[in-house]
Amino acid sequence: MEVIILPNQQKAAYLVAQILAKELKAHPRLVLGMATGRTMEPVYRLLVDMHQKEGLDFSLCSTFNLDEYIGIPADHPCSYRHYMNELLFDRVNIAKANTHLPDGMASDLGAECLRYEAAITQAGGIDLQLVGIGSDGHIGFNEPLSSLRSRTREKALTPATREQNAPMFGGDPANVPRRAITMGVGTILDSRRCLMLVTGKSKATILAKAVEGPISAMVTASALQLHPRCQVVVDEEAASELKEIEYHRWVFANEPEWAEFQNLV
Ligand SMILES: N[C@@H]1[C@@H](O)[C@H](O)[C@@H](COP(=O)(O)O)O[C@@H]1O
């Protein structure tokens, strides 16, 4: 696991968007794992910008989102399908048929979870997975005590998560669905490359637990320590409780991979 610390949220999002664009240019048929949440919004804005101004081409790639709420239809303004369409899919030249989210309205949710896993396998697996982190340390909707080997399945959301996501549902946690379909921790760990983006002071404590704490099902993001190629891009505020800050800075300043991005610090 590698931690990249950048001065602010904008620069952290910029690096993530640049990495993604670089992978997409090198591999037009890239299979992308997508994440939602406020943290990802600037990343998608930057990708749309690159599409409009530089012709970044999404026509051959496909996407699989981490999760979707159960019981709200795709066209509901709070569904993750709606979020993705609004922020990215409707604004770039991606084929809608190549964009995948679990169907939270499926009549047989168990079958839907199996179908989703099979679709990822059929696409050849996820090349680059984006993830954020919830206030309780979740990735996707893998709430505390999720099995670290779990696959796509239904999960009950914790009160903390429903509270965190309440602003998107008019401010009342009671309006946030109680359940979601999420890729499992094991599904996420199978991705070939993983990029976690974490910004803001409110994420500092949970980020330190995820990155420097013990691997624990209580903080499912800590399982990313087992990922073969996981890079964590954070801003100064989110990094403020990390112990190895100087080491992380030194790695960014010295690894050839990051040479072209030195101007960001
Ligand atoms: N299921 C999503 C997560 O994938 C996301 O990481 C988290 C953080 O959201 P935010 O970026 O708004 O803090 O929100 C939701 O719970």
Domain locations in the chain? 2-264
**pLDDT for 73:** 96
Task: Give the tens place of pLDDT for each residue, 68-96.
Answer: 999 999 999 999 999 999 999 999 999 99
Instruction: Give the pLDDT band of residue 16 (cuts 50, 70, 90).
Output: very high
- The binding-site residues of ligand 1, defined as CB within 6 angstroms of any ligand atom, are 35-39, 66-67, 132-134, 140-141, 161, 165
Instruction: Give the pLDDT band of residue 207 (cuts 50, 70, 90).
Output: very high
Secondary structure (H, E, C), the chain:
CEEEEECCHHHHHHHHHHHHHHHHHHCCCCEEEECCCHHHHHHHHHHHHHHHHHCCCCCCCEEEECEEECCCCCCCCCCHHHHHHHHCHHHCCCCHHHEECCCCCCCCHHHHHHHHHHHHHHCCCCCEEEECCCCCCCCCCCCCCCCCCCCCEEEECCHHHHHHCHHHHCCCHHHCCCEEEECCHHHHHCCCEEEEEECCHHHHHHHHHHHHCCCECCEHHHHHHHCCCEEEEEEHHHHCCCCCHHHHHHHHHHCHHHHHHHHHC
Tell me: ipTM over 0.90: yes
**pLDDT for 258:** 94
**pLDDT for 27:** 98
**pLDDT for 130:** 98
Question: Ramachandran region of residue 35, left (φ > 0), alpha (ψ -120 to 50) or beta?
Answer: beta
**pLDDT for 69:** 98
**pLDDT for 174:** 96
Task: Give the tens place of pLDDT for each residue, 131-167.
Answer: 999 999 999 999 999 999 999 999 999 999 999 999 9
What distance in Å separates the CA atoms of residue 238 and residue 202, rounded to the nearest whole number? 7
Minimum CA distance residue for ligand 1 atom 7 = 134
Q: Which atom of ligand 1 is nearest to the CA of 200?
A: 13
**pLDDT for 226:** 98
Q: Options 1.10.3720.10, 3.40.50.300, 3.40.50.10300, 3.40.50.1360; which CATH number does 2-264 get?
A: 3.40.50.1360
Average pLDDT, the chain: 97
- Choose, from 51, 67, 100, 227, the residue flagged as catalytic: 67
**pLDDT for 132:** 98
How many angstroms is it from 139 CA to the middle of ligand 1? Answer: 8
Average pLDDT (199-219) is 98
Instruction: Give the pLDDT band of residue 62 (cuts 50, 70, 90).
Output: very high
Give the number of other Cβ atoms within 10 Å of residue 92's Cβ: 17
Whether 143 sits among the annotated catalytic residues: the reply is: yes
- Which of 72, 138, 207 is the pocket-test mutation for ligand 1 (most atoms within 8 Å of CB)? 138
Q: Which residues contact 41 (CB under 8 A, 6 or more apart)?
A: 87
Instruction: Give the pLDDT band of residue 34 (cuts 50, 70, 90).
Output: very high
Minimum CA distance residue for ligand 1 atom 3 = 140
Q: How far is CA 12 from CA 80, 119, 153, 198, 261, in A?
A: 23, 31, 31, 8, 11
**pLDDT for 105:** 98
How many angstroms is it from 259 CA to the middle of ligand 1? Answer: 30
**pLDDT for 46:** 98
What distance in Å separates the CA atoms of residue 206 and residue 212, rounded to the nearest whole number? 10
